[in-house]
Every structure is written in structure tokens, then in C-alpha cells.
Chains A and B, each alone.
Chain A
């Protein structure tokens, strides 16, 4: 990075709100930095400052409450999520998603909220969180609001976040705990790679399917009854997604893989 910038490191949510009010429009939030610094190095982003949110205790931690469900602080790293016993037991798909991101060292830095806020169609956390009906808590100096994760993404690299807002935490409703679920990610190599296409499925009372890299945002399909035939689910999926042909994959192949993955997930989780 050749361009100089300011470095802010608020210690509390309150301080963060204040900093964002003052400089939010010309700065970027720095969490793990695994997307932001890459883009700054490439000159795609040239913020006047970065706001390091990792020193804010309120943004950390993973808590489970039988009534309220699961809370994941926005600064929780992929590896913290991956090795958390509650996640492993009750929401294993989130560990799968987290551990499918990049490589081990990168996952020591990459955060869950960072993966979402970067809003790439191939964000690996998104399908897993979407099938669990995740909610996302957005905070600014004017207050706190909780919205559905499915309403968070608005386009490629775009979210509803305003310059003075930040993501405080992610909530998974308690009723989604212990769903049977799994994440499948198509890559070009066995080693770390972005997804060419990915599918998550959760099965409890209903079947929920979410798909990555096949639309301008990660998408979640309307819930299906457990008796739904797999062909119907595939049909529904293919009517929603609009994959593109790019250097990673053709549209046709992406569509094909979505079908294969839904079928395989269905065989494992529903049958």
C-alpha cells in the first residue's frame, strides 16, 4: 500500500459509533483485513483511514442461550468459530463454512462479519448462516437494529450498511440449533480457493437451501417441506440463481454443480 491513511482503534462500541459519525464516510472498517488490505494493495480501495475494530470487547465472543440462540460477535475469527465446542455440537455447518475459507493462517485473522460485509457472492459464511436463518445486528450512534441476513446483501460487494453503521453481531435463532446440515463448495483445486459455486442445506422441520457464487448475492431459497422431492428443490434453485460465465467456470457448469450438490445433500440429510 503506497497511500498513507489514518489508523483509528476505538476500544468500545460507543467510541466506534463516534468515530464512524466523524469519519465513517471516508474510512473503512478493518477487522481481519484479509479482504480490505488486499483491495487497498491493489488500489481498488483508497480510504483516508481505517478503523480497527478488533480492540472492542463487545464485538467478540460466541455465546449460546437455549432461548435466545447463538450470538457470534462480529470480530470472531473463522478459526475461533471453527474450534468452538457449541458451534461444533449445535451449528456444525458454520464451522464447515468457516474452515472452507482460505487457509489456516488467514482464518486466524479473517472474521465472520468481515466475510459478510465484503459481500462477495462467493462469501463462504453466507450460505451456512442463511440456511440457519441468521439475523444480523447493525449498530450506529442512532441505535441498534436487527435484520435478516438475507436482507443484508444488496449486490456484488454491496450491503445495506451505511457509512456510520457497523455489524455488531450475528444471531442464530435457538430453534435452528441441531439442524442436520452441510456445506458443499466447488473449487478448482483441493487446496484453498474461492468457491466456483457452493450450496448449503439445513434440515429440521423444513428443508432450507442457500447457494453461493450463482447470483449477485448469496441466495437462500424459500423453505421446503420435508416431503418435497429433490427434483422440485433443484428446479426451484435453478429458477432463482443466475450464474455467470467467467474465468472460474461457465454458467452451465455452475448450474450443473448446483443440481448435483443439492441432490447429494438431500441424499445425506433428508433421505
Chain B
């Protein structure tokens, strides 16, 4: 929206305005759900399964219940409620069967955390260990045990998903474009390989924490560290059959989410514990260890790609098969499958495409949304694959990509037409390539190699992503003017770090032409008081809530103009506003201040008009469709954000250790609203992507037990692990329906990091890594194997 506003005229949009929540977070004043201690609050702990798959033969809670200070004990036997975002497949506590190690089988609420912990240790569970389903591909075998024998009985979102009862398939997404077999026949070469990555933990610094109070008359209040208060409420009400008016969800400051807190998690359990404890509030905070396997993770993926190309590098056909390891429950994984399915070809023109993407149940920690929503995972394969094809065709990998990038007039996998204003991936690729001197080594780099006894190499990757959301997603922003003319904005998009609230404040300031310091975006969201938002996910926050903020500002202005036209005795068409005044355009000395109208205008004799000022902006994604279940054709994308990554990697060839000398990222952001926040998203995302690329990931033993559920053995990048230099570029091809032309960039910054590194390592050594993470040992091993292979020849 408003793409015609001259950039030069912008006062707040496009500037590095300080964060609206910065100070509270620097003083310790910002209260997170974990910081809340309510009157009479009880503390909960859970008993978890040591087995990946087992039948619960007996649970004896008598000793726990008898411990002084224990107020409620629950097992799955008492709770007949199932929860689920897209497939309602998960009991609040395991009932009869446990489906992954770490799953909760019983829970206790007690006066103190210590008592709860001791009580949990007193719970005795007798299990019959079952044969776990661990390999997602083998899980498709006809004789595989079923993780959910009752799959056919579960309710699910039928418009988008296709579970297959009697199998371990939670969802099968299909996509058919053109004639893929014909395409392969027309191809000069065909390349096929499989790429893999493990499950990964989000690692928000604040682990999941929820407090609930279930009062008499089924009145429930929930305080929770969650991204999406309305989704928590909606799913909660669905599971318990309670009216939405009875359930209030409050989200204070959130200590990071990255998708892990997108849906519903601990809330139903603490609510049930509270109900059983007579309505006292109950708090449950996951330990860091529980964060790894009581809560959800990013799904593992095996991605098989078969590509047909012409000699000149033009892609003709591509067949893609995705095996998404959803773990024990479907949660967001089915939608990750759907969203990555329709994006799986990347920002490239693929005339003939065929995709089968399966979400597969296994007896592992269940998968959920994670920054990138499947794209980090499949781009690892896709961009390694395209590098492989380019090498074999003896075409420069950058050139190969540029030949095939989606250009205006091109069609996405779902048949959507690309326009000039969709964005420019070609430019992103060119920018990052230039930034790292792609394809050559500088004299300094050669000198450095000699000095450090290292090898320096370069790699790049392209990326795209659209928000994965229901086609009918909507949001609201409400602006309330205070007595002094300052503004409070209410919205239920949560800002769990991204800085969106600051950008929203800038947009409002720009619209109302008042200082951004005079605008407060209320941090705590409350479903009783704040207007609806679907979820804070998918990099849709800025575009959707930003548009709603523009509409709310215009609504507020419209009401001010109504009043001002009476006060100033002129037509609304003759009014303008600036500097917290509404004035007559041809006689600016005739004006009325915002604050005079804030709660209604009062004439000198006491007569009042207008009423307190409020502006409401409702924004609905327009023109999106469900996808055809057989062909995947339709219009799923609110917007496409394109980008590219490039890296200069320095490798110690003897040990396989490597580090990044430089990174370059470019995104077509449409319009950067806050330069510092955008930079923060892009750097932060890159480092998170580096973690995924280099050192993170779940390691299971052959019984399905997670071997590294802690920071001791699941390392994440520290300040010492960042590249020596990080370049960042923004292309600004305005999104015609985005606020000031903006589109989302929150997730994109981590998508292509791993393949860029993988490609750089290949370019410098010839090794072909097909699996993430790329540990030093993997590089060393691949180099040793390659050497052996060469020696044999």
C-alpha cells in the first residue's frame, strides 16, 4: 500500500528508530511469563517417558500424592482431551501409549518447585517397551508399526491436509506442474541425489513457561510465553469444548520463540492441574533439557531431487520427494510439509515439476514451526543440488542460477505469475557475489592462505519464502488517543524479539505525522482486551499488521477530520494534518490540536462533540486460495521475499575445522521500515543459520533416545563463532500491497546459510557433503574419503 509515497518525504519510516521495548529489557523491568509469581501459585513438574515407544502398563502416583505440599497429581488416564493444531492427535498427557522419549506421562502441582520435583520422582511407572519407529522412510513400509493406529479417527483441517489412516503418513502434499516425464525425456542430462538434515532445537533463551488458573464456572486465565495468544485460546477452547469468552490468554514479554512457541504447548496441562488443585494458579517452566524433548523441535528431512537440464543449463523438469520426520505428533509439521512443498523448487523457473511431500510419524520428538518453516531444511538440498548440476555441466554455479531464476512473467510451482514487483532474486545473487569476489581469490586471500596454512573458498545460495498461512488470514490494529494526544496501539501480533512493534510505531507516526516517541505499542497482549491476530509466524507480521496500522491510522484521522471540519467550519477535503494538528490547507493558522479532540472536543461553553478517539484497522490477506489437493495449483503466497547468501570460508585442511571470514546477505525487503531492526534480523538469522549449518542437531541412539538434550552437547554459536565481517544488502522492489512497500524478512536470513557453506567447501576441496550439520569431522572424513578415491584411480 502507498507505494507512491515519495521516500524523501518519509520522516520515520526507513530510519533506525530505537526499539520501543529496549529500555525495559536493559533494566530488568521487562516481565516475562517466567518472572510472574502469582498469589497462591503452585509449581508443576512432569514425569517423562524414558522410552521412545512403550505401553504404559501401570502408573502409581500414591506416594507422590501423599507427599505433604502436593496439591494435584494427574495422569493421562484422567484426561480425555486431545490437542492439535492441524490434526488433533496429541493427548495432554500420554494415555496408554508413549510415542517419544521425553513425553509427559504424569504431572504434579505442589506448593514449591522442590516438592513437585520430589513428588515426580515418587511416581512409579511400569512400561512395556515397544519397537520404536525411527526411520521416516522405513516407516512407510507396509509392515511398519503404526505410531497412530487411530489416525482415521482424528479430526483435521480437511481443506489443506491429507492424512492416510492405516499408515504413518500424517499428510501427503502433492504438486503437479506441466509434464515431468516428458520434461525428463527432453532433457540432455538428469541429476539425482538425496540430502538430509536432522531435527534441530529452536533454543529460545526463555524456555517454555505457562501459568494457568481454572476457576469455578470454567473461567480460565492463562499467562504464557507464546507467540500467538489467539491460537492458544482457540485450540484450548476447541480441546475442552469451552466458549472463547471464558478463556483469557495473556502474553507478557516473550524470551524468544523462533517458531517453537507458535502454537499451543504447556497451557492445557497447567490448566488441568489448576482445575484439580481447586483453582489455584499453576506454573510450569520447562527445564533446558525438557525444552529439547518435552517440547517440540524442527523436523528432520530427507529430500530426494531429480532434475532434468539442457546442455545450456536450462532446467526442464524436476521431481522432488520429501520425507519429513514429524516425530510423534503432527503439530506444525504437516503445514511445514505443505509450505515447503509449494516452495520446494526455490526461486527458479521449473516448467515441469512433480512433488510428493510426506509428513511421517515416528517415535521421536515431534516437529513444529521453526524460523524458515521448512525452507532452511530443503534449501540445504536444493542449493547443494544446483551447485552439483552446475559443476557437472561445467557452468559457473552463479551463472547456472541466474539462467534459471524466476523472472517477471514466470510461473511458480503452484502456477502463480511472477511480476516486476514480486521481487528481484537476480539482483540479490549479484550483490552477494560481488561482495565476496565470487569465483576468484584476491591477493590478500592468497597471502592469508600461505600464512595460516589454510584454504579459502567461496560459495553462495539463493532463497525465497512466502508466509505459510491460511489464505483467509486477518489481523487488527486499534489506536487509542490519550488525553495528551499521545497514542496507544493495541495488536495481538506479539513482538518476541523481532522489533516489529517498533516498525509498527514508525508506520503510525508516519501516518499521523507525529513523533514516534509519542506512540506506545502496548507490549502485553491479552485476548480479553486486544483485537484478534491469527499468529505471530511466517514473516507476515510486518506486512499484515503494518497494513492494519495504516488502516487504523486512516480511520483515526477520518474521525479527527470529522470533528475538525465542525470545529474549523470547513469541508473535510480542505483539511490536512501535521505535527499533531489538523489544519485548513489554505489557512494553516486555523487549526485544532490532536489533544483537544483526543477524548472529544469541548467548546468553551461546555458543549461537547465527537467522543474519545479510536482508530480501527482490519487487514485481510486478499486473493489467496487453498491449493488443489491433487495438483497443488493455486495462490498460496501473500508475498515472496527473495534473497541470497554468500560466504568466504577458511578451512584448516588437516583438521577439517573451518570458519567464516566473511558473509554477505541480500534480501528484497520491498522497503526497509527500520534499518537497525532489519539489520538485527538479518545478522541474527544468519548466525542461527550458521548454528544449523555447523554444529546443531538432535542425535538419537538406536532406541530413539535423544543423546544431546543440553547445551553441553548441543552447542549453539557464541560471540566467538561469528564471521569476521558481515555484509548486508537490501534490494527495495516495493511490494504493492505491503506497508510502504515492505515485505517480511524475519525468517529468510537463516535459510541459505548452510548450502552456501557447503558449496564453498565443495568449491575449495571437491568434497560433496549431503548431510547437515557440517562438523569439522565431517569435512575431514569427506576429504580423506575423496583422497582415497583419487588414489585408487
Contacts and interface: CB of A to CB of B under 8 A. Distances in A.
Interface string B711-743: 011010111110000000000000000000000
A37 to B, nearest CB: 14
Contact of B780 (A189, A190, A194, A256): A256
A260 B713 CA distance: 24
B777 to A, nearest CB: 5
B715 A189 contact: yes
A228 interface: no
B297 to A, nearest CB: 16
Interface in A41-56: 43
Interface in B763-793: 775-777, 780-781
Nearest to A257: B655
Interface string B88-119: 00000000000000000000000001110110
A148 interface: no
A193 interface: yes
Contacts of B776: 186, 188
A96 B707 CA distance: 30
Contacts of A250: 777
Given A2-B113, A253-B780, A260-B655, A192 B718 contact: yes
A108 interface: no
A4 B659 CA distance: 46
Given A2-B114, A248-B713, A253-B777, A186 B720 contact: no
Nearest to B654: A260
A247 B699 contact: yes
A257 B656 CA distance: 10
Contact of A191 (B115, B654, B707, B720): B720
Contacts of B654: 260
B771 to A, nearest CB: 15
B701 to A, nearest CB: 9
A191 B711 CA distance: 12
A186 B776 CA distance: 10
B655 A191 contact: no
B694 interface: yes
Given A2-B114, A194-B712, A260-B655, A189 B717 contact: yes
A162 interface: no
Contacts of B114: 2-4
Interface in A20-41: none
B695 interface: yes
A190 B655 contact: no
A191 B722 CA distance: 10
- Chain B interface size, as a band, is 20 to 34
Contact of B717 (A3, A191, A194, A257): A191
Nearest to B775: A188
B658 to A, nearest CB: 11
B704 to A, nearest CB: 15
A190 B659 contact: yes
B708 to A, nearest CB: 6
A84 interface: no
B721 A190 contact: yes
B713 to A, nearest CB: 6
B695 to A, nearest CB: 5
A191 B715 contact: yes
A249 interface: yes
Contacts of A257: 655
A23 to B, nearest CB: 22
A260 B655 CA distance: 8
Chain A CB within 10 Å, residue with most, of B695, B707, B718, B777: B777
Contacts of B659: 190
B108 to A, nearest CB: 12
Contacts of B780: 253, 256
B117 A2 contact: yes
Contacts of B775: 188
A250 B775 CA distance: 12
A192 B718 CA distance: 8
Contacts of A192: 718
A194 B695 CA distance: 14
Interface residues of A, number: 20
A188 B715 contact: yes
Nearest to A261: B655
Contacts of A186: 655, 776
Contacts of A43: 121
- Tell me whether chain A's interface is mostly helix, strand or loop, or mixed: loop
B118 A2 contact: yes
B684 to A, nearest CB: 16
Nearest to B701: A247
Interface string B649-661: 0000011000100
Given A194-B712, A256-B780, A189 B655 contact: no
Contacts of B708: 247
B264 to A, nearest CB: 28
B689 to A, nearest CB: 15
Interface in A230-271: 247-250, 253, 256-257, 260
Nearest to B722: A190
Nearest to A193: B715
Contacts of B118: 2-3
Given A247-B707, A249-B777, A253-B777, A188 B718 contact: no
A46 B467 CA distance: 49
A238 to B, nearest CB: 16
Contacts of A248: 713
Nearest to B716: A189
Contacts of A194: 712
A187 B662 CA distance: 21
Contacts of A260: 654-655
B424 to A, nearest CB: 35
Contacts of A247: 699, 707-708, 713
A248 B712 CA distance: 10
Given A2-B117, A253-B780, A260-B655, A191 B719 contact: yes
A4 B715 CA distance: 31
A191 B718 contact: yes
Contact of B720 (A190, A249, A256): A190
A253 B695 CA distance: 16
A248 B655 CA distance: 15
Contact of A189 (B115, B117, B712, B718): B718
Contacts of B718: 189-192
B777 A189 contact: no
A188 B695 contact: yes
A248 B776 CA distance: 11
A181 B715 CA distance: 29
Contacts of A2: 113-115, 117-118
Contacts of A188: 695, 715, 775-776
A120 to B, nearest CB: 11
A189 B659 CA distance: 9
A191 B715 CA distance: 9
Nearest to B719: A191
Contact of B781 (A189, A191, A253): A253
A256 B652 CA distance: 14
A3 B120 CA distance: 13
Contacts of A249: 777
A135 to B, nearest CB: 31
Nearest to A256: B780
Given A189-B694, A249-B777, A253-B777, 20 more contacts: A2-B114, A2-B118, A3-B118, A186-B776, A188-B695, A188-B776, A189-B717, A189-B721, A190-B721, A191-B717, A191-B718, A191-B721, A192-B718, A194-B712, A247-B699, A250-B777, A253-B780, A256-B655, A256-B780, A257-B655
6 contacts: A2-B113, A2-B114, A186-B655, A188-B775, A190-B659, A256-B780
Interface of A: 2-4, 43, 186, 188-194, 247-250, 253, 256-257, 260
Interface of B: 113-115, 117-118, 121, 654-655, 659, 694-695, 699, 707-708, 712-713, 715, 717-721, 775-777, 780-781
Counting from the closest, the 8 A-B pairs by CB-CB distance are A191-B718, A2-B117, A190-B720, A2-B114, A191-B720, A253-B777, A189-B715, A190-B721
